[in-house]
């Protein structure tokens, strides 16, 4: 799909703030794809659509989890976790994207998983470090991302787990699997 067409479609789904974030993820993921040898066209499309479902009502997302038989443990989690797998489903159904690499990158963009592909890592990391993000620790992840994709992803997952634990929030099992998987790859 052409970039301008994709942006036109996703813009309707997002707030202005989230659209600007999406442009940042796109720019960052294309740069990471070029640096680390992922498919930059797939990175571009996955980035543009990664938060497609971010503003769907929670009940609509829960209904999709039930009717499409996604992992039923998703029903114990909120919008922050749901919008990624539900987004992959909706991008396929409503936008007509069928490329499994792109759909997987969208599906796993929030949690990661235990055996991440290059494209999944690129989208996961770009979402975390895109230029509009400014939370404690993001600058050091940006620096690691200059030279080591796996270490940067690991640092992002560690920061996320620590942040969630400090807030007494549930951690989705795939988030722990991402931590374990990245650690194993690095060793
Ligand atoms: O959609 P974005 O805000 O661009 O970014 P995202 O899809 O990476 O979502 C980030 C949020 O998701 C952040 O508030 C932390 C939260 N999150 C990430 N992993 C988990 C999680 N929340 C829970 N409860 N459990 C997780 O494993
Ligand atoms: Fe997201
Ligand atoms: Fe993220
Ligand atoms: Fe995002």
**Residue ranges per domain, the chain?**
3-186
Closest atom, ligand 1, to C-alpha of 54: 1
Asked if 21 and 62 count as a contact pair (C-beta separation under 8 A), the reply is no
Give the Å distances, CA to CA, from 9 to 14, 52, 96, 106.
Answer: 10, 9, 11, 16
pLDDT digits (tens, 9 = 90+) for 11-55: 999 999 999 999 999 999 999 999 999 999 999 999 999 999 999
CB atoms within 10 A of CB 7: 15
Fold for the domain defined by 3-186: Hypothetical protein af1432 (1.10.3210)
Asked if 90 and 111 count as a contact pair (C-beta separation under 8 A), the reply is no
If you search the block for the tokens 């949690």, which residue do you land on?
A: 111
Note every long-range contact of 67-70, with CB atoms under 8 Å and residues 24 or more positions apart, other chains counting.
none
- pLDDT beyond 90 at 88: yes
Residue 178: band (very low, low, confident or very high) from pLDDT cuts 50, 70, 90: very high
pLDDT of residue 17: 98
From 24, 80, 177, mutation site for ligand 1 pocket: most ligand atoms within 8 A of C-beta: 80
- Any ligand 1 atom below 6 A from CB of 29: no
- Nearest Cα neighbor of 137 from 121, 123, 149, 154 is 154
**Percentage with pLDDT > 70 across the chain:** 100
Q: Tell me the average pLDDT of the chain.
A: 98
Q: Give the Å distance between the CA of 50 and the centre of ligand 4.
A: 6
Q: What is the C-alpha separation between 172 and 100, in angstroms, rounded?
A: 22
pLDDT of residue 187: 86
Q: What is the C-alpha separation between 83 and 61, in angstroms, rounded?
A: 7
pLDDT of residue 133: 97
């Amino acid at each position: 799909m052409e970039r301008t067409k994709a942006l036109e479609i996703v813009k309707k789904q997002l707030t202005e703030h989230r659209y600007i974030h999406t442009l940042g993820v796109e720019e960052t993921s294309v740069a990471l794809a070029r640096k680390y040898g992922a498919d930059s066209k797939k990175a571009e499309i996955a980035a543009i659509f990664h938060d497609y479902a971010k503003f769907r009502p929670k009940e609509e997302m829960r209904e999709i989890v039930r009717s499409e038989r996604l992992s039923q443990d998703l029903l114990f989690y909120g919008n922050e976790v749901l919008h990624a797998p539900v987004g992959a489903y909706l991008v396929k159904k409503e936008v007509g994207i069928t490329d499994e690499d792109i759909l997987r990158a969208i599906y796993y963009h929030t949690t990661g998983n235990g055996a991440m592909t290059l494209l999944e890592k690129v989208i996961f990391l770009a979402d975390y470090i895109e230029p509009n993000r400014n939370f404690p620790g993001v600058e050091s992840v940006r620096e690691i991302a200059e030279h080591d994709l796996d270490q940067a992803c690991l640092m992002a997952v560690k920061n996320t787990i620590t942040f969630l634990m400090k807030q007494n929030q549930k951690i989705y099992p795939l988030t722990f699997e991402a931590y374990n998987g990245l650690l194993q790859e690095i060793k």
